[in-house]
Chain A
Amino acid sequence: MKKLHRRSFLKGGLAGGAAIAAVGTSKHAEAAGSFGGYPDSMGVLVDLTKCVGCRTCEAACNKEQGLPAPDKSFDDPSVFEEKREGGLPRRTTEKAYTVVQKYDVPGREHPLFRKVQCNHCNEPACLTSCFVNAYKKTPEGAVMYDPTVCVGCRTCMIACPFYIPAYSYSSAINPVVKKCIMCYDTRLKFGKPPACVEACPQEVMTFGKRKDLLKLAHQRISEKPEAYVDHVYGENEVGGTAWMYLSDVPFDKIGYDTHLGDQPIISYVKEFLAIVPMVLTIWPALFTGFHLLSNRKDALKNEDNKS
């Protein structure tokens, strides 16, 4: 009796091992399974060397998205000195989907200005972290959010590696997540650039197909190697983003996280998530089967013994 049990246990162990091995091999195939972004999606290349900090982009965003009036005029440079908790510069809020930050870089003649908004990742962490599928990546490149299905868990705000989604805490009745949608509804859908891009007097931002922008970015660096650091931020970060950046100052000096890695955030949990359905569906059936099998043999044996 005991021997039979051990054998069935070993058989089960073997089958389980094979199943785990099968999951293990998927690790190597992971790159092929990665989404990598829509082929013809649009993007924006931001050349930080050109920004003069006029905040016209902020004004354009406010108008296009119908956001509430700002606390200070959009031509008021005092906002650059505002600091939030931890001495950090201002961030995106429910009332401002884009903000310009100022960095005084030692050795640089003029301050560097940096526009912050949703980077519209190829494989967004907000999207993959959302358990009600409130997020959508459109083929045009925008990461959209549907407030009608959102349950307000705010996991997306924690998942976002760029700290972009904001929450309308001011609304007691129906608080929702607020963030840049690349002007999808009013412009991107119709092939037009986002309002900030069009409003910028300095043409800091170049709008186009992401793959074309990458070529342009590297062309700019190779033509003026002394004017840029040899890094297109967003080309590979977290699996690539629709918004990408060129700078003359190393990115880690101006508030960019350069330790995010090149894998989409989902990759770090993909293997675990692949096991979940197996554990939940295959294991109960499998082990019930083993149990019944051994029980049946035991029952047969008992009957044999009886007869």
Chain B
Amino acid sequence: MGGRKKTLMGMAALMLLTAPAGAQSWAADGPGTVELGSLANHYSAVTFDHAMHVGVAANCAECHHHTTGLAPTDPNCVRCHEAGAQARSVACKDCHSDKRFSAEDLEKTGGNPQLYHKGKPGLKGAYHQKCLGCHTTMGGPTGCQDCHTRNDQGDAFFHSGKYAPAPKASGGHGGGH
């Protein structure tokens, strides 16, 4: 953790030094691209162009909620995270579980009456709800394979591609088409 933070700070300092004065935004200390592949199963990993999205999003809180030290955009969040406390890590996977609905996850969420964020989505849900939600309102790509290409395993799962069912011979029972 400490090591990564140091590297990030180092990168930020380097960027600050190399960039022309005034042109540097607070968001520029993020990574250029992020490989999102920890959940890859039926699809290939997503190479997320972080730098491009930094330019499109209104601010970091759009995706990172309160973790980057900015006030969150959702008024419901502001009630508690008024200023947005800087978190140790701003990576999605550090708050959104990749084992959603596992016994331990259910114990942690359902079994804790003190917990407010009971319905916090898992990692897969967080990715898709954030990305697709924004893409829908901003007119970004929304097709599954616009972001990640499906692999052979995925084709088999969806009975698609070379695993597609043979077209039904006409005149079958039911007389549909």
Contacts and interface: CB of A to CB of B under 8 A. Distances in A.
A72 interface: yes
B124 A203 contact: yes
Nearest to B122: A203
A106 to B, nearest CB: 19
A218 to B, nearest CB: 11
A71 B106 contact: no
Contacts of B101: 192-193, 197-198, 207-208
A232 B121 CA distance: 19
Contacts of A73: 158-160, 164-165
Given A203-B124, A203-B125, 20 more contacts: A62-B159, A69-B159, A70-B159, A71-B165, A73-B160, A73-B165, A74-B157, A74-B159, A191-B106, A198-B101, A200-B125, A201-B125, A203-B128, A206-B119, A207-B101, A207-B106, A208-B101, A208-B106, A209-B110, A212-B118
Nearest to B156: A63
Interface in B97-150: 100-103, 106, 109-110, 118-119, 121-122, 124-129, 132, 136, 142, 144
Contacts, number: 76
Contact of A191 (B103, B126, B142, B160): B103
B4 interface: no
Interface stretch (A16-24, A219-227, A296-304): A219-227
Interface of B: 76, 100-103, 106, 109-110, 118-119, 121-122, 124-129, 132, 136, 142, 144, 157-160, 164-165, 168
Contacts of A6: none
B144 A54 contact: yes
Interface residues of A, number: 37
The CB with the most chain B CB atoms within 10 A, among A63, A198, A208, A223, is that of A208
Contacts of B164: 73
